[in-house]
Amino acid sequence: MLVYLSKKIAIPNDVPLRCVAWHGTRGYIACGGVDGMLKVLKLEPQEDAEGQLKGLAAPTALTMNQTLEGHDVGSSVQVVTWNETHHRLTSSDSNGHIVVWVLYKGVWYEEMINNRNRSTVRDMQWNRDGQKVCIAYEDGAVIVGSVDGNRIWGKDIKGVQLVQVAWSPDSKVILFGIGIGEVHIYDSHGSYNSKVNIQCLAGATGAVKLTSVEWYSGINGYAAPNCASLVVVFDNGRAQLMKNELDESPIQMDVGYDPGISGEVEPHWVTDGFAGRQQKDVSVIQFYNTLGEHLHTLKGPGKAPLSVAWEGNGLRLALGVAQYIYFANIRHNYKWGYFSGTVVYTFRKPEKLEHCLVFWSTTDGEKHAKAVKNLLHVTACRDLALLAAEVDDNPGEYVLLLCNALGTPLESKYINMEPRFVAISHTHVVAASNSAIFIWHYRTASRLAVSELTHLSRKGWEGQERLIHVDELPAEVLDGAAVDFSIAARETNDKICSVGVSNQRLIVGRESGSMQYYSLPGVSLDGSVLHGSKPEHLAFNCTSTKFSVVDNMGFLNLYELDVHSGAEAAVVATQLELQRKDVWHLVWAEDNPDLFAVMEKTRMYIFRGVEPEEPIQSSAHICRFTEMTVKSVLMDEVMQDPENPSIQDHLLDLDIKSLRDTRSLLKSVGLKDTCQFIEDNPHPRLWKLLAEASLEQLELELAEKAFVRCKDFAGIQFVKKLHHLDVSNALNFLSL
């Protein structure tokens, strides 16, 4: 996951903001501030001249910028909230003045006004279907009203200061956050039930204030069955994630902030965003998943944001900071992969507990969908997809599945450890827990020799399996010895955080920044190198002589492996002179050890060694890099409507600059000048282009040279035959 700042909008007259809210389906952004300021903005993508830029890479324009006049100049608009079902905006100010706004013919108008005059509104929330709104006043007064403006019930909660309110997904429960750090549970009719069990404050000293209570509505499905959907945050940095209001075993977190923290739930409940202040004039936003695991840290601009709002599709974040709205782009870690002309990905349906796994052919658009329970990981390589899942009827047991392009399982392996990280190469599957690495040297029926098919039909190919502890040297294993999964139960002080594998090598990243690399298939430790940060994504080039490291902050580095021969043979990893930032995806070329494609923010860079070509605007995920062409897929757009992917709209084939330049040179300059360019930028595909162009002009010597350089034996033989023909016969031969 990567989050980075992308844009900012200044509020006129430098009016400081107090709140921001983003309409989940229509994209309107409401922002309130001092002097009664209330604005509604809308950013919409604009098509570029060629219509090629899509997704986050597409330029955006401000298509609405309306100032809403309804709050007193002497007040501050402190709360704004959207009714996304009935498309209403509700705002309130420091004087207790509440306004409901409606959109009519492209303009927002006042629909209803309410002014209690006795206290300030601290929070307002609409329920999931948009039929009811709950208004919490600072003095303990509560009003529940309907969407048509009628009062349903009211209540005075004596002796408390209300600061937060949250509806349950089924609208049967209302939570009220109390300023002293308590959360009270009421039913939908206003009857008190009990208090939420707050465990995360155990051992806390000093006064603690509640700053956020957010309950995910479940409208887009859940990340996993029975996962957390309620978050409670306090100003000392303590927080807890809960499955429901009665959860007695919440996930407890300490995000380590100074006072001034707020929390916001991501629309698809993949992550939480916690905003706070760590140092003077420096704000940070921490992102966590529903298990409370830290995903990313975003360093914000200036002081801590007073308000944080997610875009409805979960791809952007709006931060209200001083007199600015800052926008941050989110690059999610989707469960997906590409192999054999097929994109495999997973999504959740709101009414289903299982993951829906889709195998989408990029050649004919055919889709094969499968329902998979407890799916943990999806990745792919060449002609196989790797799935990792927990066995449904046997908790603690996990299965690794190899599938073909139709989604048919070809081979499986059951393991008794949680595969927190997985990787696959053409020959090996790797699964790692916090402390152990399982290596499976797999083979499938399509890869077996004919002589082995009889054996396969009699007894499935088991492959070679190894399990090693990350703190220990790999021990020799006798043929046929069973894997001892008790090794995985031994803990480590330096946990595994990433793995990468090729046909020849395995690399394991650890939280300290240490990276250990092993040779395959023998699984012997070749060495280790200490990286300056936590490695998150590791990948080898096509010859296993270099590997890339993208850390948890989005910084990219390269290492080269040098084999030192002699009495004490060693493999030494040397860091190359390259560092890039805001990197969220990288794929090495399959046919050149020095070429790789990198996604930085909304730009794709092609590197030859450590030198980049001119960037290409794109926000697509890279599928494959071969023959100087990068195939990519707009996964953000696919996931917006995952049941209807489109080859035309969601797939991109991008030629790298040297290929584009070669084609241009062949049209504009002579063959010799083009040949010199290819000499400086050698690649088999460029030599093949030159060979074909030379044949068209009967430059047979140059054509033969080009075929030799691209190792095209058939082309060489063809040119030799042409040498024996006269010019007129050769022209006739080529025209056939």
Angle of CA points 414, 420, 421, to nearest 5°: 95
When pLDDT is averaged across residues 438-448 and rounded to a whole number, the result is 77
Establish how many alpha carbons lie within 13 A of residue 510's alpha carbon, considering only the half-sphere containing its beta carbon: 18
Q: Assess contact for 136 and 124: CB atoms under 8 A.
A: yes
Q: What is the pLDDT of residue 449?
A: 46
When pLDDT is averaged across residues 129-134 and rounded to a whole number, the result is 95
Identify the weakest region by mean pLDDT among 297-301, 396-400, 482-486, 657-661: 297-301
Separation between Cα atoms, residue 358 and residue 372, nearest integer Å: 10
When pLDDT is averaged across residues 344-373 and rounded to a whole number, the result is 93
When pLDDT is averaged across residues 292-312 and rounded to a whole number, the result is 83
What beta strand segments (E) does 362-487 contain?
367-372, 375-381, 384-390, 398-403, 409-415, 421-424, 428-432, 436-441, 464-469
Separation between Cα atoms, residue 343 and residue 324, nearest integer Å: 40
Identify the weakest region by mean pLDDT among 151-155, 267-271, 537-541, 636-640: 267-271
Q: Which of 229, 322, 240 is nearest to 274 (CA)?
A: 240
pLDDT in tens, 75-110: 999 999 999 999 999 999 999 999 999 999 999 999
pLDDT in tens, 591-624: 999 999 999 999 999 999 999 999 999 999 999 9
**Comparing 2-44+59-331 with 336-574, is the CATH topology the same?**
yes
Q: What is the pLDDT of residue 116?
A: 80
pLDDT band at residue 257 using 50, 70 and 90 as cut-offs: low
Q: Which residue has the tokens 């360019």?
A: 677
Residue 604: C-alpha distances to residues 3, 40, 597, 615, 681 (Å): 17, 33, 7, 5, 19
Task: Show the DSSP H helices in 77-232 as ranges.
Answer: none
The token duo for 65 is 């910028």
- Cis link prior to 301 (omega < 30° from 0)? no
Separation between Cα atoms, residue 386 and residue 344, nearest integer Å: 10
Identify the weakest region by mean pLDDT among 74-78, 92-96, 147-151, 256-260: 256-260
pLDDT band at residue 358 using 50, 70 and 90 as cut-offs: very high
Q: What is the pLDDT of residue 48?
A: 62
Residue ranges covered by each domain of the chain: 2-44+59-331, 336-574, 582-655, 660-735
When pLDDT is averaged across residues 526-545 and rounded to a whole number, the result is 96
Q: Which residue has the tokens 């007073």?
A: 306
Q: Assess contact for 652 and 343: CB atoms under 8 A.
A: no
Kindly report the CATH number that applies to the domain delimited by 336-574: 2.130.10.10
pLDDT band at residue 259 using 50, 70 and 90 as cut-offs: very low
Identify the weakest region by mean pLDDT among 84-88, 406-410, 649-653, 731-735: 731-735
Please give the mean pLDDT across all residues of the chain.
89
Range of 266-275, 304-313, 641-650 with top mean pLDDT: 641-650
CB count within 10 Å of CB 375 equals 21
Question: pLDDT above 70 covers what percent of the chain?
Answer: 90
Say if residue 451's pLDDT is above 50.
no
Q: What is the pLDDT of residue 87?
A: 93
Separation between Cα atoms, residue 124 and residue 19, nearest integer Å: 12
- Pairing, β 436-441 against β 60-67: unpaired
> What 3-state DSSP class applies to 450?
helix
Say if residue 297's pLDDT is above 80.
yes
Separation between Cα atoms, residue 598 and residue 615, nearest integer Å: 10
pTM of the model: 0.90
Say if residue 221's pLDDT is above 90.
no
Q: Assess contact for 339 and 381: CB atoms under 8 A.
A: yes
Q: What is the pLDDT of residue 1?
A: 87
Q: What is the pLDDT of residue 49?
A: 54
For 631-656, give one letter per residue: b (16+ CB within 10 A) or e.
Answer: bbbbbbbbbeebeebeeeebbbebbb
pLDDT in tens, 542-573: 999 999 999 999 999 999 999 876 556 688 99
Q: Assess contact for 204 and 216: CB atoms under 8 A.
A: no
Could you please state the CATH topology (level 3) that the domain comprising 2-44+59-331 is classified under: Methylamine Dehydrogenase; Chain H (2.130.10)
Q: Which of 272, 331, 278 is nearest to 305 (CA)?
A: 278
